[in-house]
């Protein structure tokens, strides 16, 4: 239920642990996060260097 709207860059990835910025037209930063959309993950496997959810 988080409405994460940033000032200029849209929002962050809908995958909970993922911190990647996502364009408004997209819900996830990539297919990795999109495939986890149905479940809550502890860490993120998107592989983006800026992501802080990857442990």
Is there binding between residue 18 and Zn ion (CB under 5 A)? yes
What burial class does residue 8 get, using C-beta atoms within 10 Å of its C-beta: 0-12 exposed, 13-18 middle, 19+ buried?
A: exposed
Residues 25-54 that bind Zn ion (CB under 5 A): 29, 33, 44, 46, 51, 53
Shortest separation between residue 7's beta carbon and Zn ion, angstroms: 20
Place of tokens 């239920």: 1
Interface residue with Zn ion, options 8, 10, 11, 15 (CB under 5 A): 15
The helix or strand, by DSSP H or E, that contains position 22, with its residue range, turns out to be strand 21-22
Residues that bind Zn ion (CB under 5 A): 13, 15, 18, 20, 29, 33, 44, 46, 51, 53
């Amino acid at each position: 239920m988080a409405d994460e709207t940033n000032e200029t860059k849209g929002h962050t990835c809908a995958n909970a642990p993922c911190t990647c910025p996502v364009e408004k037209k997209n819900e996830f930063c990539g297919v990795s996060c999109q495939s986890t959309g149905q479940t809550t993950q502890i860490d993120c496997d998107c592989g983006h260097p800026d992501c802080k959810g990857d442990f």
